[in-house]
Structures are given as structure tokens and as C-alpha cells.
Amino acid sequence: CLKIINSVLENPFYNDLRTHQQLGYIVWSYGRLRGNEKLVLNLLIQSPSYHSVEINKRVDHFLNNSIDLFVNMDDQTFSHVVSSEITKLEQKAKSIYEQANQYHAFIFNHDRDFERDQKTINRLRTLTKSDIVKQMHVLIKNRPVINIQCDAKDTSFDPGFIQDWKSKQRYD
């Protein structure tokens, strides 16, 4: 699921927050699997102009609306996204360096599961748009968040916003 979610969100995240809103020079999203079970969507924005609290508001707004990207996606587009991810996984390493990186990932990130890519391909072949929408609700609406905010020393903001933001967060 995460490969599809990341594939679909990556460009809209960049286009909305970097191109349209011009939040910063670095705007990046990527998904990864933490351990063998925890889906993690990483979102990174570095801005010289906006306070981290404002950036966080805008990211929350983007994420809350991102489920619509999947709900409104036609079946042909969904199939294309899935087949594109399968093609990426089926590509063989083009160098010893790439092969070594793949083995490193299998060993250290995926509990020595050298069949992981094939398992992922098999799962992608049975994946439905409904599966993705359900997973998006888990990732976006009920997401646990680690939010790291750093600001330049001359940045000003409303301190009351932090309390408001904290009151809306879910802490486990």
C-alpha cells in the first residue's frame, strides 16, 4: 500500500506546497516501512520564509484532503500506478553497487527477507483502490506524528498556536 500511496502523493505534495504555496526550497515526501509492519510517511519542508507552525498547518490541510486523490482516481489511472510500481520492483540491479544496496536493505531493514520484493509484487497485484483508501484513513486521519520543528532565531509567531496545535494531537 505504501508504495502506491507515496507514488500518488509525491507530486501533488511537491506541486502544492513547493510550487503553488512556495513554502520552501526543499519539499519532499517519501514512504517507508519501519520494521516489517509500521507504514511511515515522511514529509520534509525546509523554509526560509515560513514559521514551522504555519508549515505544519498547511501540511495538515494537504494530508486531510489527500484521501480525495485516491477516492476520485479512475480505475485506469490506479492500474497504471500499480503496474508502474511493479515494474520498478522487477528491475534488476544495474551495478554491483545497486545490488549491494539491495542486499543491505534486505538484511538490515527487512529482517533478511530476500523474497520481499516478490512478496510486494504479489500483494500489489491483488491490491484494490478500496484497500488504499482504507489505509489512507489509517495513515492520515489517525496518524501518530513525530513532528520536528526548527526555526530561525528571528522568526516570530503566535505562541498560543502551539497550545492549540498540541490540544488537537493524539498522544499514545
What tens digit of pLDDT does each residue of 120-170 get? Answer: 888 889 999 999 888 888 777 666 666 666 666 666 666 676 677 677 666
On whether the CB atoms of residues 90 and 48 are closer than 8 A, the answer is no
- Answer whether 38's CB lies under 8 Å from 109's CB: no
Closest CA to 126 of 70, 79, 77: 79
C-alpha cell at 33: 516501512
103: which residues sit within 8 A by CB, 6+ positions away? Answer: 114
Ranges 43-52, 73-82, 93-102, 140-149, most confident: 73-82
The pTM for the full model equals 0.69
Query: Cα(172)–Cα(167) distance, rounded to whole angstroms?
Result: 13
Q: What is the DSSP letter of 2?
A: H
For residue 152 the three cell numbers come to: 530561525
